[in-house]
């Protein structure tokens, strides 16, 4: 299987993990807080560890193929914080009340239904999650293209935090209409933006791959993943009230990622 195929499959599976979140809604009257809390913490641990211990060094290594050591270090910092700024602006454009990673419990949704129709909440959540998943698809694809093993690790981490996103779309639609097909369809559309992002990355960036672009991509991806971890995954993980499981998941995610880098 070629790296391109692996990259597309990884991006698609990560994005469509939202569908698993929808299935949780259908089989359970409330979300599994312990599972979600530990899974989101684990996802953050994987992303943080791989960003600082693997991707930033690889970014500098690629930059140093075409420039001096000091300039390479500055380029890594520029890519890292520049991507944070761009991704932060994108996140800021998403209405705060419907931030896709701030998933509501069933009880919170019932309270909110007095102010807004649940179906409308689900539609807005689907749009918001689609916006967030698009660049994540590019991240997964580009990383998998350059290093399939690392790309798979990132895809798993992204898939874990896409599960509660799926809950955020499916739950309000399902509770409002009782229509499983509609809830599944909207959840699918919100997740499919991830492989669409991968496709655009393939069409737009692949013809221009150079050591410098590799450096920018690795630096930018690490910045985006650190921002997602601290701004979205960890707060969402602790929002379920399982703070100790969130921390344990974070540490375990780092341990697993570190061990996998040694083994692979």
pLDDT per residue of the chain (264 residues) written in tens, 0 to 9? 577 888 888 888 888 888 887 887 777 654 566 766 777 787 788 778 888 987 798 889 889 988 899 999 999 999 999 988 987 787 677 555 444 445 455 555 555 444 445 566 567 667 766 766 776 787 788 888 777 877 887 788 778 767 777 776 777 677 667 778 888 888 888 888 888 888 887 888 777 767 888 788 788 878 887 887 887 778 877 876 667 888 888 898 888 778 866 775
Residue 80 confidence (pLDDT): 94
136 is in an annotated binding site: yes
Residue in this structure with the two tokens 């921390």, named with its chain if needed: 247
The pTM of the full predicted model, rounded to 2 decimals, is 0.62
At residue 247, φ and ψ (nearest 5 deg) are: -65, -45
165 is in an annotated binding site: yes
The Cα-based distances of 219 to 27, 138, 155, 203 in angstroms read 40, 14, 17, 21
Write the Ramachandran bin of 99: left for phi over 0, alpha for psi from -120 to 50, otherwise beta: beta
Both tokens of residue 32?
A: 């599994």
114 is in an annotated binding site: no
Dist. CA 48–CA 203, nearest whole Å: 28
162 is in an annotated binding site: yes
Both tokens of residue 154?
A: 């990132």
Contact 139, 222 (CB under 8 A): no
Contact 177, 263 (CB under 8 A): no
Radius of gyration of the chain (CA): 18
CA geometry: angle 151, 235, 37, nearest 5 deg: 70
Both tokens of residue 76?
A: 């890594």
For the chain, how far is it from start to end, CA to CA, in angstroms?
A: 18
Residue 241 confidence (pLDDT): 67
3 is in an annotated binding site: no
101 is in an annotated binding site: no
Residue 78 confidence (pLDDT): 95
């Amino acid at each position: 299987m070629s790296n391109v195929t692996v990259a597309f499959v990884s991006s698609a599976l990560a994005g469509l993990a939202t569908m698993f979140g929808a299935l949780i809604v259908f089989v359970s009257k409330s979300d599994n807080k312990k599972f979600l809390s530990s899974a989101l913490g684990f996802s953050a641990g994987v992303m943080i560890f791989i960003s600082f211990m693997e991707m930033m060094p690889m970014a500098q290594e690629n930059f140093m193929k075409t420039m001096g050591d000091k300039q390479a270090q500055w380029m890594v910092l520029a890519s890292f914080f520049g991507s944070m700024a761009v991704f932060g602006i994108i996140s800021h454009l998403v209405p705060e009340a419907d931030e896709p990673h701030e998933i509501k419990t069933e009880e919170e949704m019932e309270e909110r239904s007095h102010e807004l129709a649940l179906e409308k909440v689900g539609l807005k959540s689907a749009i918001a999650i689609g916006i967030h998943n698009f660049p994540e698809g590019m991240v997964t694809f580009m990383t998998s293209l350059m290093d399939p093993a690392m790309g798979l690790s990132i895809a798993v981490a992204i898939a874990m935090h896409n599960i509660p996103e799926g809950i955020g779309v499916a739950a309000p639609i399902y509770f409002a209409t009782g229509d499983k097909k509609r809830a599944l369809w909207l959840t699918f559309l919100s997740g499919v933006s991830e492989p669409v992002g991968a496709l655009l990355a393939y069409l737009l960036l692949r013809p221009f791959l150079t050591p410098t672009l590799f450096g920018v991509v690795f630096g930018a991806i690490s910045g985006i993943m650190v921002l997602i971890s601290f701004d979205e995954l960890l707060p969402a993980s602790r929002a379920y009230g399982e703070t100790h499981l969130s921390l344990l998941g974070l540490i375990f995610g780092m341990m697993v990622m570190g061990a996998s880098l040694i083994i692979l």
